[in-house]
Amino acid sequence: MEIIQAVRGTRDILPQEVRLWQQVEASAREILGRANYQEIRTPILELTELFARSIGSATDVVGKEMYSFSTRGEQEVSLRPENTAGVVRAYIQHGLQMAGDVQRLWYCGPMFRYERPQAGRQRQFHQLGVELLGSRDPRADAEVIALAWDLLQAVGAENLSLRLNSLGDPQDRRAYRQALVDYLTPLREKLDPDSQERLTRNPLRILDSKDPRTREIAEGAPKLPDYLSPESRAFFEQVQDHLQRLDIPYQLDPYLVRGLDYYTHTAFEIVSPDLGSQSTVCGGGRYDGLVEELGGPSTPAVGWAIGMERLVLLLQKKQGEIPPALVEVYVISRGAKAEAQSLRIAQALRQAGFCTELDLSGSAFGKQFKRASRSGATWAVTLGDAEAVAGEVQLKHLPTGQQQTLLQADLVKYLASHSRQGYGVPR
């Protein structure tokens, strides 16, 4: 019989790894919660047009990486390749701009892009992101960046650097794009094939090329910062001032161009040299035009997304595995009557807040004790025929080997007063 395996580019996150994910999610909840960001959950499925209009139909993400299909009602839908579009759609649809001038939102969930899988790049991957809607204050940019930075520090990611750039407003960008095309067109033949292709599709990307000859040409190209309007430049400087006041180190990178069409002004990435070719852990920026573009009121906004798989990869490299939660009580039973009582006892312990494992094997006491030891439990509760008849249990403190007989009715109370963990605190 042929084994069915997970779809290419998707993978299972097994319990051991899930613990790391939960740790990251818990930190995010805490750090973002303290800044009064509210979690939002939007559908994984959206109308294809939403992404075409927001991300840009000329981008690779929309052009060739989307999981798109028609539903029976003949709607064209896609699995979301990122979540800013969905959050903005929800913002507009529910009139969240009415609920306060600023909305601070965060999310975490699966995204889908049909790409060639690689380490740190799956077809189904997960992003944790924030969106701050309704402010054009440069403190908003800095706040959002600071939160990403704090979160990454809090979970223990190391060796990160923040790269920062400004794309200016749409006019600035258009002017720069033209200047760049004017500069590059005569040199077209000297560019690598990919970059020649990009010259018409996405010229700004050429600056980021890894081809050495193209890089050399890019060196002499007009620089984007020179094309920023005085207002754009002043705004960017304020963002930087705030980052400096927060002691967040950054490097200006005039070649940093975010791929999605909606970005304006601030663009940033947090990268790690430990991730190989997929080095971006977090990417984001300002997108002042997007809400309006999607039919909402003109609303400035900033946000970012962290690639969960990449972050987890980084943390795994550094700290290895997280030990599982410890079993506190291990319930051993043998014989029909004892086995019949064992589950009730285990449930009572659980209801009292003890992490309790019930041995289901029915094998010899010796074997069950062996498993009890291996489970890391502090206590073994043993129930054989004799105890079952008498309404008792043997309670053994595994670290010391001391054992005593207790009435079943007294077990929970006894453990509650002799165990440091968890009485009356259901977990």
Residues 216-255 that bind RNA (CB under 7 A): none
Residue type, 251: Q
118 torsion bin: left (phi>0), alpha (psi -120 to 50), beta (else): beta
Q: Which of 344, 370, 413, 418 touches RNA by CB under 7 A?
A: 370
* Contact status: 337 vs RNA (CB under 7 A): no
* Contact status: 279 vs RNA (CB under 7 A): yes
* Contact status: 281 vs RNA (CB under 7 A): yes
Torsion, CA 324, CA 327, CA 328, CA 334, rounded to 10? -170
Residue placing its CB nearer to RNA in the complex, 111 or 243: 111
Please report how close the Cβ of residue 352 comes to RNA at its closest, in angstroms.
Answer: 22
Give the number of other CB atoms < 10 A from CB of residue 230. Answer: 7
Are 66 and 78 in contact, with CB atoms under 8 Å apart? yes
Q: Which of 186, 220, 323, 366 touches RNA by CB under 7 A?
A: 366
Residue placing its CB nearer to RNA in the complex, 97 or 264: 264
For RNA, the binding residues in 124-143 under the rule CB under 7 A are: 125, 127
Q: Which of 39, 45, 37 is nearest to 81 (CA)?
A: 45
Please report how close the Cβ of residue 199 comes to RNA at its closest, in angstroms.
Answer: 11
Q: Which of 61, 151, 228, 411 touches RNA by CB under 7 A?
A: 61
* Contact status: 213 vs RNA (CB under 7 A): no
Residue placing its CB nearer to RNA in the complex, 28 or 97: 28
What is the Cα–Cα distance from 90 to 295, expressed in whole angstroms?
A: 12
For RNA, the binding residues in 173-202 under the rule CB under 7 A are: 194, 198, 202
* Contact status: 8 vs RNA (CB under 7 A): yes
Residue placing its CB nearer to RNA in the complex, 166 or 202: 202
**Which among 157-165, 217-225, 350-358, 400-408 is the span making contact with RNA, rule CB under 7 A?**
400-408
Residue/partner pairs of 155-159 with CB below 8 Å, 24 or more apart: 155/23, 155/24, 155/27, 155/311, 155/315, 156/315, 156/318, 156/319, 157/272, 157/281, 157/311, 157/314, 157/315, 157/318, 158/314, 158/318, 159/272, 159/273, 159/274
Residue type, 55: I
**Which among 138-146, 181-189, 241-249, 365-373 is the span making contact with RNA, rule CB under 7 A?**
365-373
* Contact status: 400 vs RNA (CB under 7 A): yes
Please report how close the Cβ of residue 382 comes to RNA at its closest, in angstroms.
Answer: 5
Q: Which residues contact 237 (CB under 8 A, 6 or more apart)?
A: none
For RNA, the binding residues in 295-334 under the rule CB under 7 A are: 305-307, 309-310, 334
Residue placing its CB nearer to RNA in the complex, 75 or 361: 361
**Eight-class DSSP state of 118:** B
* Contact status: 293 vs RNA (CB under 7 A): no
Q: Where does 132-210 have alpha helices with state H?
A: 138-154, 170-184, 193-201
Residue type, 46: E
Are 383 and 332 in contact, with CB atoms under 8 Å apart? yes
Q: How far apart are the first and last CA of the chain?
A: 42
What is the per-residue DSSP string for 119-139?
TTB-SEEEEEEEEEES---HH
**Which among 108-116, 160-168, 350-358, 413-421 is the span making contact with RNA, rule CB under 7 A?**
108-116
Q: In this structure, what are the phi and psi dihedrals at residue 210, rounded to the nearest 5 degrees?
A: -95, -5
Residue placing its CB nearer to RNA in the complex, 59 or 240: 59
Q: By CB under 7 A, how many residues form the interface with RNA?
A: 73
* Contact status: 11 vs RNA (CB under 7 A): yes
Where b means 16+ CB within 10 Å and e means fewer, 123-156 reads bbbbbbbbbbbbbebbebbbbbbbbbbbbbeebe
* Contact status: 104 vs RNA (CB under 7 A): no
Residue placing its CB nearer to RNA in the complex, 97 or 315: 315
Residue placing its CB nearer to RNA in the complex, 92 or 111: 111
**Which among 40-48, 176-184, 351-359, 375-383 is the span making contact with RNA, rule CB under 7 A?**
375-383
